């Protein structure tokens, strides 16, 4: 069926459900009206037949077939109206209103085409019946006089009503179309707003995720910085850094390589992954400049990124890390020297973003600083231990010499008097306590405390008191030794100065040699001193 026929049978084809409800409503009103008219009609059988047909059209409309009702409903109204006009006053009968009603119903059910078609039909009925009355061919049962003026005016009134109804229907249809257009525009606007809302939510979620990611990265930088300040030993620091980077960035493997002493191999020192732990057990190492991305970076000293390891010629397919899809290696430089390589690997292709690279470069610099600080700390620690050992040796020698000059090496107080003792053998009594006297960690003696009561138990307060006394005694002894040593050195320097002054006051070689022999002999009493030239050629 073409569009014009479809438009004729359904002027509301944009919304068929609404039109079906309208048709059923009009048909129901017509059916009720027909049933009521049967009480006043002279021939109710015809009216009941029409009512039965209307009922059938209602049933068809309920099942979705509205075409019979669209056509038959206004026809039934026009037919009933014509019957009433023929049985009543003709063109002066109130049935004329029913004829007008059939035109209105046709306009509602069939649109403009139905309005014109049934308008022409109503005018034809009105003109035909009026002409028949004027010419005497038809005499209404109820007498009424139809004048020629009424014959002309009646159709004109129908035409005016039809035009008005057509205008009204078109206007209503235009309003309905505008309403549908507005509704469609509103739906489109709502869809656009919904899309905008979803887009904004997506962007907000992406931005939130990005901010969370950046915060996690900054937290990683802070954690690494905190680890650098808190841990000085590389054995503890490097594994901690690997764990922090992998956790905060989501990389499944992070490894730190350090160059060996000859800079021939990059040796794995720390890793977080299971495969990395296996590599550590085997002493995994890569030749500098030759093997894998790490070896390439160790040889060139420049960062290298493989967003897809399958397409990178330098990638080394490590069986311990089979899930690697992206890899990035960054040089670790201490000053201008390359110390090692930071290696991170991901299970995703294109896992590294620009901001990730920038943050990882910051982390690499921090790791480099940590390595430099750890090495400097280790060197300083070794130097300090060596210095302490040398100093300890000197202190021990000085105290050994000083002890030889002391007449009494110990004293004992028995509660009444203090007497010197010959040996410093520690007491073997079970209730005696020994408190060592230390000078810078070097034991130079001890304090022994005994009780005449073999069952006496020494309290912690008494032990602490004895230890404090031992510390102060050690400091006093060391101060005394340093004072004696200083006095001895001062006397030595004074003697040397005097000898130098007397030798320098001599004016010839014989006097200089005599003065030197005499002064040295006086300074080293009991010694024989000889000064002579040794002119033998060697």
**HEC profile for 451-466?**
CCCCCCCCCHHHHHHH
Q: What whole-number distance in Å separates Cα of residue 485 and Cα of residue 482? A: 5
Report yes or no: 280 and 293 within 8 Å, Cβ to Cβ.
no
- The total of other beta-carbon atoms located within 10 Å of residue 49's CB is 12
Same domain membership, residue 415 and residue 302 = no
Report yes or no: 488 and 398 within 8 Å, Cβ to Cβ.
no
Q: For residue 220, what pLDDT band results from cuts at 50, 70 and 90?
A: low
The pLDDT of residue 6: 44
Better pLDDT: 189 or 16: 189
Report in angstroms the alpha-carbon separations of 370 from 109, 238, 260: 90, 9, 17
**Backbone CA torsion sign across 515, 516, 521, 523:** positive
Where in 375-505 does DSSP place strands (E)? 411-413, 418-420, 433-439, 442-449
How do residues 264-277 score in pLDDT, each as one tens digit? 888 998 898 888 89
The pLDDT of residue 12: 53
The pLDDT of residue 202: 83
Residue 216 has pLDDT above 70, yes or no: no
Same domain membership, residue 140 and residue 14 = yes
Write out the two tokens for 318. Answer: 């490590």
Better pLDDT: 85 or 225: 85
Q: Helix (H) and strand (E) counts for the chain?
A: 12, 10
- The answer to whether residue 313 is domain-embedded is yes
- The total of other beta-carbon atoms located within 10 Å of residue 408's CB is 9
Better pLDDT: 425 or 415: 415
Same domain membership, residue 421 and residue 368 = no
Report in angstroms the alpha-carbon separations of 235 from 113, 247, 263, 350: 96, 19, 20, 32
Tell me if residue 264 falls in helix, strand or coil: coil
Residue numbers of the domain that contains 272: 231-380
Domain boundary pick from 335, 357, 380: 380
Report yes or no: 103 and 115 within 8 Å, Cβ to Cβ.
yes
Pairing outcome for strands 326-334 and 418-420:
unpaired
| CA 324 to chain CA centroid, nearest Å | 22
- Residue bearing tokens 């020192």: 269
Residue 401 has pLDDT above 80, yes or no: no
pTM comes to 0.45
Residue 236, domain CATH: 3.30.450.40
The pLDDT of residue 527: 65
- The answer to whether residue 392 is domain-embedded is no
**DSSP H/E element including 15:** none
- The answer to whether residue 93 is domain-embedded is yes
Tell me if residue 134 falls in helix, strand or coil: helix
Contacts of 403 (CB under 8 A, 6+ apart): 409
Pick the closest to residue 72 from 116, 109, 45 (CA basis).
Answer: 109
Same domain membership, residue 127 and residue 28 = yes
**DSSP H/E element including 505:** none
Of 140-149, 153-162, 238-247, minimum mean pLDDT range? 153-162
The pLDDT of residue 3: 45
Same domain membership, residue 247 and residue 356 = yes
- The answer to whether residue 184 is domain-embedded is yes
Contacts of 296 (CB under 8 A, 6+ apart): 289, 304, 314, 329
The pLDDT of residue 317: 72
Same domain membership, residue 418 and residue 320 = no
Pick the closest to residue 119 from 143, 97, 103 (CA basis).
Answer: 103
Same domain membership, residue 143 and residue 74 = yes
- The answer to whether residue 505 is domain-embedded is no
Q: What whole-number distance in Å separates Cα of residue 326 and Cα of residue 306? A: 6
Same domain membership, residue 247 and residue 365 = yes
φ and ψ at 287, to 5 degrees?
-70, 135
Segment 511-538 shows an average pLDDT of 68
The pLDDT of residue 7: 47
- Cα dihedral value 414, 420, 426, 430, nearest 10: -10
Mean pLDDT for all residues in the chain: 77
Domain count, the chain: 3
Q: What whole-number distance in Å separates Cα of residue 111 and Cα of residue 312? A: 74
- The answer to whether residue 225 is domain-embedded is no
The sheet with strand 285-287 has its strands ordered as 285-287, 265-271, 253-259, 337-346, 326-334, 304-306
Report yes or no: 262 and 249 within 8 Å, Cβ to Cβ.
no
Same domain membership, residue 444 and residue 320 = no
The pLDDT of residue 430: 60
Same domain membership, residue 182 and residue 246 = no
Segment 403-421 shows an average pLDDT of 74
Domain boundary pick from 189, 222, 242: 189
The pLDDT of residue 351: 77
Same domain membership, residue 465 and residue 344 = no
How do residues 282-305 score in pLDDT, each as one tens digit? 888 888 887 788 888 888 888 888
Report helix angle 148-230 to 354-405, nearest 10.
20
Residue 4 has pLDDT above 50, yes or no: no
Report yes or no: 358 and 220 within 8 Å, Cβ to Cβ.
no
How do residues 145-197 score in pLDDT, each as one tens digit? 655 645 554 565 566 566 656 666 666 667 777 777 888 888 888 888 888 88
Segment 374-395 shows an average pLDDT of 78
Pick the closest to residue 106 from 97, 119, 125, 92 (CA basis).
Answer: 119
Report yes or no: 55 and 66 within 8 Å, Cβ to Cβ.
no
- The answer to whether residue 510 is domain-embedded is no
- The answer to whether residue 201 is domain-embedded is no
Same domain membership, residue 415 and residue 306 = no
- Cα dihedral value 261, 223, 307, 334, nearest 10: -30
The pLDDT of residue 525: 66
Write out the two tokens for 466. Answer: 């004895």
Residue 200 has pLDDT above 80, yes or no: yes
């Amino acid at each position: 069926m073409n569009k014009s026929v479809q438009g004729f049978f359904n002027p509301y084809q944009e919304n068929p459900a609404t039109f079906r409800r309208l048709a059923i409503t009009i048909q129901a009103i017509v059916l009720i009206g027909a049933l009521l008219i049967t009480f006043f009609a002279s021939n109710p059988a015809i009216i009941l037949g029409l009512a039965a047909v209307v009922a059938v059209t209602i049933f068809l409309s309920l099942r979705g077939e509205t075409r019979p009702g669209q056509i038959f409903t206004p026809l039934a109204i026009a037919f009933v109206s014509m019957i009433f006009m023929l049985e009543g006053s003709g063109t002066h009968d109130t049935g004329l209103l029913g004829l007008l009603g059939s035109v209105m119903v046709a306009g509602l059910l069939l649109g403009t085409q139905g309005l014109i078609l049934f308008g022409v039909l109503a005018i034809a009925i009105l003109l035909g019946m009026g002409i028949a009355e004027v010419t005497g061919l038809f005499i209404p049962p109820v007498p009424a006089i139809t004048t020629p003026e009424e014959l002309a005016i009646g159709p004109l009134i129908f035409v005016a009503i039809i035009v008005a109804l057509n205008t009204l229907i078109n206007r209503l249809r235009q309003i309905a179309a505008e309403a549908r257009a507005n509704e469609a525009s509103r739906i489109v606007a709502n869809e656009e707003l919904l899309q905008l809302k979803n887009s904004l939510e997506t962007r907000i979620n992406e931005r939130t995720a990005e901010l969370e990611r950046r915060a996690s990265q900054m937290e990683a930088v802070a954690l690494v910085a905190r680890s650098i300040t808190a841990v000085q030993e590389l054995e503890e620091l490097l594994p901690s850094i690997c764990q922090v980077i992998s956790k905060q960035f989501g990389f499944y493997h992070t490894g730190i390589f350090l160059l060996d002493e000859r800079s021939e191999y990059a040796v794995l020192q720390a890793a977080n992954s299971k495969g990395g732990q296996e590599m550590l057990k085997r002493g995994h190492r890569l030749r500098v400049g030759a093997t894998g991305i790490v070896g390439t970076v160790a040889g060139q000293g420049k960062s290298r990124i493989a967003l897809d390891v399958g397409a990178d010629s330098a990638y080394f397919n490590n069986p311990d890390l089979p899930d690697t899809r992206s890899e990035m290696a960054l040089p670790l430089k201490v000053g201008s020297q390359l110390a090692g390589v930071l290696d991170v690997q991901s299970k995703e292709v294109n896992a590294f973003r620009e901001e990730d690279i920038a943050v990882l470069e910051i982390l690499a610099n921090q790791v480099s600083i940590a390595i430099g600080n750890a090495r400097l700390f280790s060197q300083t620690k070794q130097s300090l231990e060596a210095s302490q050992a040398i100093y300890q040796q000197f202190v021990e020698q000085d105290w050994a010499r000083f002890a030889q000059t002391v007449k009494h090496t110990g004293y004992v107080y028995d509660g009444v008097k203090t007497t010197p003792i010959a040996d410093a053998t520690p007491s073997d009594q079970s209730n005696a306590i020994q408190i060592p006297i230390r000078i810078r960690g070097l034991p130079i003696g001890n304090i022994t405390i005994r009780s005449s009561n073999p069952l006496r138990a020494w309290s912690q307060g008494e032990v602490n008191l004895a230890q404090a006394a031992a510390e102060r005694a050690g400091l006093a002894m060391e101060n005394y030794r340093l004072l004696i040593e200083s006095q001895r050195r001062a006397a030595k320097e004074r003697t040397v100065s005097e000898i130098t002054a007397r030798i320098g006051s001599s004016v010839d070689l014989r006097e200089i040699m005599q003065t030197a022999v005499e002064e040295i002999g006086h300074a080293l009493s009991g010694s024989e001193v000889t000064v002579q030239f040794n002119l033998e050629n060697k």
